[in-house]
Amino acid sequence: MIQPIVYVVSDAIGETAELVTRAAVSQFNSGHVEIRRVSHVSSLVDIHRVVEEAHEAVAAIIFTIVLPELREALKNEADALGIPNVDIMGPVLTALSTMFQAGPRLKPGLVHKMDEEYFRRVEAVEYTVKYDDGKDARGLERADAVLVGVSRSSKTPVSLYLAQRGYKVANFPLVPEVPPPKELFSLSPGKVVGLTVSPRQLQRIRVERLKALGLSVGASYADPERILRELEYADGVFRRLGCSVVDVTDRAVEETASLIVELLKRESKA
C-alpha cells in the first residue's frame, strides 16, 4: 500500500496544523502518513506551487492560513483539482469574529510571538533571581538594567517586577564597608539606576524588618546616623557611576518600575 501524503501548509511555522494533522492521522493506518510541512506561505505564487506539488503527489492539504485572500486561493485551487483539503483556521476565525463582534488582526505567527514573549520573561526572571542582591558580578553585560542602592531600598521587588515584564535585571546592595564590584563601573551609565529613599522611611522599613526577624530594633541596621552615612555613601557611588537616580520614597513598586522603564527607553533612543 502506498503511504498516504498530507501537505501541512501555513503562513507561519505550521506547528499547530501539524499537531492537528498528527492527532487525526493517528486514528488511521497506525498514523503511518507522510507529512510534508510547508511554512511561511506568503503569496499566491507560493499557494500555486504547493497545490501543484500536492496534486502531483496525490496528497491531501491541511492548512492554517490567516490572510483571507491566500486562504481562499488555496481552497479554490485545491477544489478545482479535486485535492482533499481542510481549512483549520478559517471557520475558527469566523466564529470568533461573530463572538467578539470584531475582525481578527490577520497577522500570521502571533501564537509563536506570544510563546517567544513567554520564554523571554521566563529567561528574564531566571537571570534576575541569579543576579539578585549582589550574588554574582559576572554576566552583568547581559543585563537590561542594574539597580544599586542601600539595603531595603526596594531593589529586589522592583527587579522581580521588571523581570516579569521581560527585563533582565541585576541588583547590588551598597554598603560603606564593602566596595562595589569593579564590573559595575565598566557598564554603560544608562544601564545602571540608583535607588534612594528618605532616611525616615528607610528607618521605618528597617525597624519593621528587624521586628519580623525577631531582632532588637536598637541594632545599628536601623540607627538613624548609620542610615544617613549609608545614604551619603550611596550618593557618592551614584555620582561615580554617572547613573540616573530614582527616589523610591512613598512610591509603589509598580511606579518605580515604570520610571525605570522610561529611563531605559530614553537611553536606548539616545
- Give me the pLDDT at residue 116, please: 67
In terms of Cβ atoms closer than 10 Å to its own Cβ (0-12, 13-18, 19+), residue 151 is: middle
Residue 105 confidence (pLDDT): 56
- Asked if residues 14 and 68 have their Cβ atoms less than 8 Å apart, the reply is no
CATH 3.40.50 segments of the chain: 5-108, 114-269
- Residue 90 pLDDT: 74
Topology given in CATH for the domain delimited by 5-108: Rossmann fold (3.40.50)
Cα gap 40→211, rounded to integer Å: 60
What is the identity of the amino acid at 63?
Answer: F
Digit-coded pLDDT (tens) for 8-60? 998 888 887 888 888 887 777 655 788 899 988 889 999 999 999 999 999 99
Q: What is the pLDDT of residue 107?
A: 59
- Burial class (CB within 10 angstroms; exposed 0-12, middle 13-18, buried 19+) of 253: middle
- From 2.40.128, 3.40.50, 2.60.120, 3.10.20, which CATH number describes the 114-269 domain? 3.40.50
* DSSP-based three-state secondary structure for 37: strand
pLDDT at 246 over 80: yes
Instruction: Give the mean pLDDT of 198-203.
Output: 96
Q: Do residues 20 and 88 touch, judged by C-beta distance below 8 A?
A: yes
Looking at beta carbons, which pairs linking 125-128 to residues 24 or more positions away fall under 8 Å?
125/160, 125/163, 125/164, 127/163, 127/168, 127/169, 127/170, 128/159, 128/160, 128/162, 128/163, 128/167, 128/168, 128/169, 128/170
User: Does position 111 have pLDDT exceeding 70, yes or no?
Assistant: no
8 Å CB contact between 147 and 197: no
For residue 116, count other CB atoms closer than 10 A to its CB. Answer: 11
Transcribe 149-162 into DSSP letters: ESTTSSHHHHHHHH
